Structure 1
Amino acid sequence: MGALPRETIVDVLERRLREDILAGRHPAGSYLPPERELADGFGVTRTTLKHAFGRLAQSGLLETRHGVGTRVRDFLRLGGADLLPMLVRHSPDWIGEVFEVRRGIGALIAERAAARATAADIAELRRLLAAVADADGGDPAQLADAEVHRALARATGNRVYVLLTNTLFNAYLPVRAALAGPFEDARTAHDRLAPVVEAVAARDPQTARRAAGHYLSATERIMLEGLARSGARRGDAS
């Protein structure tokens, strides 16, 4: 077992500033108070503040102009999908919007995969699907299921679909444990996904799209129920 990571002052300050920005306490386009004022208010050095600013600039939330100040970026206008894990961590409400995109993109990927998959792609999909059934527990089954979807994206022959699939999975990471419901029984998870793979193997785009739509809707419902239970438990604990 490795040692647990320890939070530094920069970590805490970055999180506080990020939460303030995402909650709208520092609106998009506004300038943050002067560095000295902020540093004094948080009880940190200006060097610590600059380190936190640097991280937030790297994540796309801030931009600093020498001699002008540090401004909050309009991340909804200028940001990319790489912000999703951070946004989901801030507010699980984003998951509903992620799932809406997941349904549309997932069905389209299955349709394209059925039209374009090679024999090697189909063999790989069947191998990865079998790994879902063989998984020992919900967490390994969830990860094995994800690999099937990555393979479906690769089977389209379009690398953008692969990157979009990766982006959606990355968005789940902050709440992945609460989304394990569809994978608690590995055999059931396999049987739920199998029609998608078989439709792709049969090179039947329309059936693949319908099967993917059914799979995505069914698993979404289970995952949202799990997320709601997780939220309720956190509420009871507080």
Structure 2
Amino acid sequence: MEALPRETIVDVLESRLREDILAGRHPAGSYLPPERQLAQGYGVTRTTLKHAFGRLAQAGLLETRHGVGTRVRDFARLGGADLLPMLVRHDARWVREVFEVRRSIGALIAERAAVRGTARQRAELTALLRAVRDAASPDAVQLADVEVHRALARATGNRVYVLLTNTLFNAYLPVRAALRGPFTDAEAAHRRLAPVVEAVGAGDREGAKAAADAYLRDTERIMLEGLS
């Protein structure tokens, strides 16, 4: 068993500030109140506030200019996909938009994998598909399924597809427990995914794309039903 993480005051303040920014209470482009005033308002020290600011700046939500102040960054215009996990935690409705991208990117990845995958990569996909069927719990099935998709991305030979796949999975990790519907039955999960792996293994470009689209739509429907 792992010990539960203990939140520090910096963790709590970071979370509060993040929610205030994402909810629009501190609008994009606006400057936060002076540090002393903000620290008093939240009941923390300025040192604690600076630590929280540092984390939020690293996350892409704030930017601090010496002698000017700390401004809320226009993350919707300037931010990257690395913000998605934070946005999903704030508002689960982002998951639907993540799934739309997952569907289009996933079908394209399967198509490319069918054309470019090597014999070794196709053998790896077959082995990873078996791991989905043999997984002992819904959580293990879900994680085994993820590994198949990572392998499909690698089989494209394009490292950007690999990073995009990682980004999309990371995006819905905050609500992963609510998205286990397609993975409660290992045999059923295997059946849904097998046509994708088989088409890629056969080098069937159009078949892989169609199978991936069907798989992604089916699992998306089940996951969104569980989320709602």
- TM class by smaller structure: over 0.9
Partners of 2:137 and 2:47 in 1: CA distance: 46
The equivalent of 1:235 in structure 2 is: none
The equivalent of 1:90 in structure 2 is: 90
Deviating beyond 2 angstroms after TM superposition, the runs of 4 or more aligned structure 1 residues are none
Pair 1:150-2:147 in alignment: no
- Name the % identity: 80
Partners of 1:155 and 1:7 in 2: CA distance: 40
Q: For the aligned residues, what is the CA RMSD? A: 0.6
Residue-by-residue CA offset, 1:36-95 (whole Å, 9 max, x unaligned): 110111111111111110110011100000000000001111111111111101110100
The equivalent of 1:190 in structure 2 is: 190
Question: SS of the counterpart of 1:166?
Answer: helix
Alignment of 1:90-129 (within 5 A): 90-129=90-129
Residue-by-residue CA offset, 1:171-201 (whole Å, 9 max, x unaligned): 1110000000000000100000000000001
Question: How far does residue 99 in structure 1 lie from its aligned partner after superposition?
Answer: 0.2
Partners of 1:177 and 1:27 in 2: CA distance: 31
Question: How far does residue 6 in structure 1 lie from its aligned partner after superposition?
Answer: 1.2
TM-score by length of 2: 0.99
Question: SS of the counterpart of 1:176?
Answer: helix
Match of 2:103, as an amino acid?
R
Question: SS of the counterpart of 1:157?
Answer: coil
TM-score by length of 1: 0.95
Question: How far does residue 151 in structure 1 lie from its aligned partner after superposition?
Answer: 0.4
Match of 1:156, as an amino acid?
T
Q: List gaps (5 residues or longer) in structure 1.
A: 229-238
Match of 2:99, as an amino acid?
F
Question: SS of the counterpart of 2:70?
Answer: strand
Question: SS of the counterpart of 1:56?
Answer: helix
Q: List gaps (5 residues or longer) in structure 2.
A: none
The equivalent of 1:236 in structure 2 is: none
